[in-house]
Structure 1
Amino acid sequence: MLTAAITALALTGGCTAPGGGGDADPSPTAAAAPGVLAVKVDNVLPARPQTGLAQADVIYTEQVEAGLSRLMALYSTTLPGAVGPVRSARETDLRLLRGFNRPVLAYSGSQSRLRPLIEAAPLRAETPGRHPEAWYRGGDHPAPHNLYLRPRRLVGKPAGAAALAPAGFHEGPAPAGGTSEERRTVRFPSARFTFTWSAERHGWLVETDGRPTTDGGRQLAPPTVVVQYVTVRASGFRDRGGNATPFSETVGSGTADLLRDGKVWPVRWQRPTAADGTRFTTGDGAAVNTADGQVWVVLTER
């Protein structure tokens, strides 16, 4: 009870707007992250606009209960002052992160039945109960969509670009060919993402459920978007409302669409085992390059 009380005090006392005090963090809990920092970010309407997404190196979108969406933002080269709102972890996250070298997974909590899997996973799991000084409640969104993480208090400094290598992306020239594409919409049962090419921003303007996806008042425009077609099936978990938790299978092989430079290329993805990283290739087997900057990966069924 004492631990719970201390945690609650840390999360509710001194509430500020997202990012408040983020640049004045004291010494971090850990001197350095053992790997990439992955943060589970809420993506329902009451949680928008989010904070800290613009600094993410890679953002994965995944389907959750009732056909809604959630984000997992990966930070390897830059740590923002704050990230959030932070929500709970899913089984998909554990499989997806298995290919990284000892990543840090920051999340708000999980189902009790999932905790043994999280504890057994080769990652460092971080929730508010472990290091409450790294978390706070913001005042701009209603609870439970108001929990934020101060990454620098948790991992100290970025792990470096090399920690993202298993993601399967390498910056470089675009593949030969490609087909012009100005707009792409990806639909989940109860959510949708639209990416519109902007030559001015040299990126894909992101909309979620028909509204601009912004951070700090500026619409996100990642230079590269990968629409990865996977099998999405019901897992053995359910939420409190009885909705089955979807599981996106990221081990195996399949097809994907690479969007960059205002064009699209059909590519293939391959990940033989959970311990392997994902490899994206063109039809002739050549590794796919991404443009310089943020990458979005949309995990979806075809």
Structure 2
Amino acid sequence: MKLKVTVFILAVSMLITGCKSEEDAKPKEKAIETSSKVEEKQFSNAFPLSGIGTNEEPEGRAVAVMINNHPDARPQSGLSQADIVYEMLAEAEVTRFLAVYQSEKPEKVGPVRSARDYYIKLAKGLDALFIAHGYSPDAKALLAGGYVDHLNGIAYDGTLFKRVDFRKAPHNSYITYKNIEKGAEDNSFNLDSQPDSFTFLTKEQLKDLQGNPAPSVMISYGSKVFDVTFEYDEESGKYKRFSGGEQTVEYEKETPVLLDNIFIIEASHQVVDNKGRRDINLENGGKGYLLQKGKMNEVQWQNKDGHIVPIKNGAEIGLVPGKTWVNVIPDQPGLIESVSVDSE
């Protein structure tokens, strides 16, 4: 009888030991604790265009790439890794992106599209290397005059810029980051100097963030194909982007574009030719909306030394550290007519 009891106790002991071993192998609560500690970690530096903390020196020049937003160019490559994306009308009701990289270097970016002068001026304000494939007459004049360091697919089609076979021209030009660096080296462009930093909110300021509820916002550019919707995701604390009813994701892995700041500004637009190209005034400032963490504030915007920044009560407002998307809309009809905010 004693032998049976001893065997039973031994078996139970082995079973408990085995269960503990299996539990120890699972990362359960410890993973959550580790993640929390990482978020609370104090960093010695921060990237200037995203405000994300780093212990490394955030060296490296910004690179600004003109990215196609035609429906035949979607989904694009590289948008989720941009620190800032500026979305503006390029011609008629067609919008185009200027994606600015500094904290991350995407393997491939595109489709790359032609330049407009106001995109070039934004790149210049960030001291960025400007990348495009083609140009409008005004943009060509700026580039030819040496206004900004640049690489253009007109000169490097088939070398630095490659045509993919799964899309048709003019929606099939791509460039890798390695080729951007190669082009910069070949042209003796400096890629070391980092841009001036934007202003970012501290952890304490984030806790006290105020504003009207803004879980969803829709921006009209006059065509459903180019209308934009941003929806706030409570779980991630970020905004998802939708264009023409489809979520904006990466072409290769369908990684979603997730954003921390949505900055919508109105600016004067003037049509300058029969193709519907425009002149957009990004110097004089004006009205804007700033969406952060599911909340919206009415603000003004100013161009401060080339940086488009939000202003309230005469002071610059900090951005949430992370990714920023800037939508520029015509001041006629303006914010009230072009932007619809769902507050529920």
**Same fold, judged at TM 0.5 (above):** yes
**Aligned-residue offset at 1:224:** 1.0
State percent identity of aligned pairs.
22
Instruction: Tell me which of 240, 245, 248 is aligned to 2:277.
Output: 245
**Aligned-residue offset at 1:44:** 0.9
Unaligned runs of 5+ in 2: 1-58, 185-189, 335-344
Taking the TM superposition and a 5 Å limit, the aligned residue runs for 1:50-61 are: 50-61=76-87
* Amino acid aligned to 1:282: K
1:38–1:73 contact (8 Å) kept in structure 2: yes
**Aligned-residue offset at 1:219:** 2.4
2:67–2:96 contact (8 Å) kept in structure 1: yes
The runs of at least 4 consecutive aligned structure 1 residues that moved more than 6 Å come to none
* Amino acid aligned to 1:97: A
CA shift in 2, pair 1:213/1:225, >3 Å = same
1:39–1:105 contact (8 Å) kept in structure 2: yes
**Aligned-residue offset at 1:276:** 3.9
Aligned to 2:153: 128
Aligned to 2:47: none
Deviations 1:210-244 (A, max 9, x none): 21111131321211110011112113xx4xxx322
Unaligned runs of 5+ in 1: 1-32
Q: Which has the higher helix share?
A: 2
Taking the TM superposition and a 5 Å limit, the aligned residue runs for 1:113-152 are: 114-131=139-156, 133-152=159-178
CA shift in 2, pair 1:218/1:154, >3 Å = closer
Instruction: Tell me which of 264, 279, 282 is aligned to 2:309.
Output: 279
Equivalent-residue separation in structure 2 for 1:251 and 1:45 (angstroms) = 30
Deviations 1:241-285 (A, max 9, x none): x3220222110121211101110011111226xx543332222x3
1:222–1:294 contact (8 Å) kept in structure 2: yes
Deviations 1:57-105 (A, max 9, x none): 000000121211111100011111000000000122123233222x211
2:60–2:102 contact (8 Å) kept in structure 1: no
Aligned to 1:108: 133
* Amino acid aligned to 1:298: N
Taking the TM superposition and a 5 Å limit, the aligned residue runs for 1:150-169 are: 150-155=176-181, 162-163=194-195, 165=197, 168-169=198-199
**Aligned-residue offset at 1:129:** 4.8
CA shift in 2, pair 1:159/1:181, >3 Å = farther
Structure 1 position 74 matched with structure 2 position 104: no
CA shift in 2, pair 1:169/1:45, >3 Å = farther
2:238–2:259 contact (8 Å) kept in structure 1: yes
**Aligned-residue offset at 1:160:** 7.7
Aligned to 2:246: 211
Root mean square deviation of aligned Cα? 2.5
Deviations 1:5-25 (A, max 9, x none): xxxxxxxxxxxxxxxxxxxxx
CA shift in 2, pair 1:53/1:171, >3 Å = farther
Aligned to 1:233: 270
Aligned to 1:289: 318
TM-score, length-normalised on structure 1?
A: 0.78
1:62–1:300 contact (8 Å) kept in structure 2: yes
* Amino acid aligned to 1:58: I
**Which has the higher Rg, Structure 1 or Structure 2?**
2
Aligned to 2:120: 94
CA shift in 2, pair 1:171/1:124, >3 Å = farther
How many residues are treated as equivalent by the alignment?
259
Please state whether the residue corresponding to 2:99 is helix, strand or coil: strand
Aligned to 2:16: none
